[in-house]
């Protein structure tokens, strides 16, 4: 098992990706992605649909196995057949486009389940933490509601709390506002921004350019499986050099 690397120190990249490749059958979705993230970094990955953004972040927590290349999370190699998946997923939380809450559990239970079942933590302590997390995502009073009784934005915030309950070091957000009504997008973005401001390391795949410009320390533009261009938002949006980036930005901004 590749367990957490004892030689890793916080001054090294928390996530280090090198030449990540992934194909689905004949279709090569990732053609060599490399990226370094330091602790506390917030980066946004943008790009047209089908450019491999989601596949890339799914490779980071091994939901999608990569074909070749290397991703190290706190020094732990992800591309390893003997990967200790639990150790990896404790460190990396993920929030999905479709929320994917467990519909047979209440909001509070959704947040509490994984720490109790997976980490075998004490139920009372977990509940205390879960209630605090529900307050943090501003859903006080909704603890006993089932996902089916909550709006999309509320469900997504429960999903964020559920991920945070595992106390991850990195959060992956996979187009988390794409399925939401415009009026509920904001409440989710506020929650994510709060996390970013608290120093959580975040990778966001998003179409919310305004939000990306606001919270991201760095923006990566991907197209057809490669990172075309990247840079801090201040220069990225105004001084894009590659014609593909320019075209994409002109369509979306």
Partner 1 sequence: MEAVYEWARVLYQDTGINLTFIYDSYDRNRLIDGFLMTVWLSVICLGLSVAIGVVGAWAQGARSAILRRCVAGYIEFFRNTPPLVQLYFFYFALGSIMPTTTNRFGLPEPLLDNFAWAVISLSFFAGAFNVEIFRSGIEAVPESTKEAAEALGYTRLQTYLEIVLPLAFRVCLPSLNNNLVNLVKTTTLAYAIAVPEMLYQANQIWSDSVNVPEMMTFLLIAYVFLVGVLVWGMHRWERSMRLPGFGS
Binder of partner 1 out of 148, 182, 210, 243 (CB under 8 A): 148
Backbone angles phi, psi at 162, to 5 degrees: -60, -40
CA torsion angle 232 236 237 240 (round to 10):
180
For partner 1, the closer of residues 166 and 209 by Cβ is: 166
For partner 1, the closer of residues 113 and 226 by Cβ is: 113
For partner 1, the closer of residues 37 and 60 by Cβ is: 60
**Residue position matching structure tokens 């921004």:** 193
Binding mask 14-43 for partner 1 (x = CB under 8 A): ------------------------------
For partner 1, the closer of residues 201 and 245 by Cβ is: 201
For partner 1, the closer of residues 46 and 164 by Cβ is: 164
CA–CA separation, 58 and 37 (whole Å): 16
Site for partner 1 in 63-122 (CB under 8 A): 63, 85-86, 89-90, 93-94, 96, 98, 100-104, 113-114, 117-119
For partner 1, the closer of residues 204 and 219 by Cβ is: 204
Contact 108, 131 (CB under 8 A): yes
For residue 138, count other CB atoms closer than 10 A to its CB: 14
Q: Which of 215, 221, 187 is nearest to 201 (CA)?
A: 215
Count residues near partner 1 (CB under 8 A): 28
Closest distance of CB 226 from partner 1, Å: 26
Binder of partner 1 out of 39, 121, 131, 146 (CB under 8 A): 146
Buried b (16+ CB within 10 A) or exposed e, 78-99: bbeeebeeeebbbbbbbbbbeb
Structure tokens given for 161: 């709390």
Closest distance of CB 97 from partner 1, Å: 9
For partner 1, the closer of residues 1 and 234 by Cβ is: 1
CA–CA separation, 167 and 34 (whole Å): 26
Binder of partner 1 out of 122, 128, 140, 149 (CB under 8 A): 149
> Among 25-33, 146-154, 194-202, 235-243, which window interacts with partner 1 (CB under 8 A)?
146-154
> Among 73-81, 158-166, 207-215, 227-235, which window interacts with partner 1 (CB under 8 A)?
158-166
Q: Using alpha carbons, list the distances in angstroms from residue 251 to 2, 111, 201.
A: 44, 38, 29
Contacts 24+ apart (CB under 8 A), 55-58: 55/22, 55/29, 55/30, 56/17, 56/20, 56/22, 56/30, 56/205, 56/222, 57/94, 57/172, 57/174, 57/203, 57/205, 58/174
Site for partner 1 in 183-222 (CB under 8 A): none
Q: What is the contact surface with partner 1 in residues (CB under 8 A)?
A: 61, 63, 85-86, 89-90, 93-94, 96, 98, 100-104, 113-114, 117-119, 146-149, 159, 162-163, 166
């Amino acid at each position: 098992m590749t367990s957490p690397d004892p030689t890793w120190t916080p001054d090294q990249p928390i996530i280090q990706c090198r030449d990540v490749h992934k194909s689905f059958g004949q279709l090569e979705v990732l053609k060599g992605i490399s990226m370094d993230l330091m602790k506390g970094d917030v980066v946004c990955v943008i790009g047209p649909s089908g450019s491999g953004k989601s596949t890339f972040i799914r490779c980071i927590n091994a939901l999608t196995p990569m074909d070749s290349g290397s991703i190290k999370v706190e020094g732990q190699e992800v591309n390893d057949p003997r990967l200790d998946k639990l150790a990896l997923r404790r460190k990396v939380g993920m929030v999905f486009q479709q929320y994917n809450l467990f519909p047979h559990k209440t909001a509070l239970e959704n947040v509490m389940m994984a720490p109790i079942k997976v980490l075998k933590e004490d139920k009372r302590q977990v509940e205390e933490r879960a209630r605090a997390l529900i307050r943090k995502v501003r859903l006080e009073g909704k603890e006993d509601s089932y996902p089916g009784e909550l709006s999309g934005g509320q469900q997504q915030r429960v999903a964020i709390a559920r991920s945070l309950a595992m106390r991850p070091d990195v959060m992956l957000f996979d187009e988390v506002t794409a399925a939401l009504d415009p009026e509920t997008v904001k409440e989710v973005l506020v929650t994510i921004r709060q996390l970013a401001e608290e120093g959580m390391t975040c990778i966001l795949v998003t179409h919310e350019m305004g939000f990306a410009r606001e919270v991201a320390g760095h923006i990566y533009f991907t197209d057809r499986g490669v990172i075309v261009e990247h840079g801090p938002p201040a220069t990225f949006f105004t001084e894009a050099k590659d014609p593909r980036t320019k075209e994409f930005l002109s369509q979306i901004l």
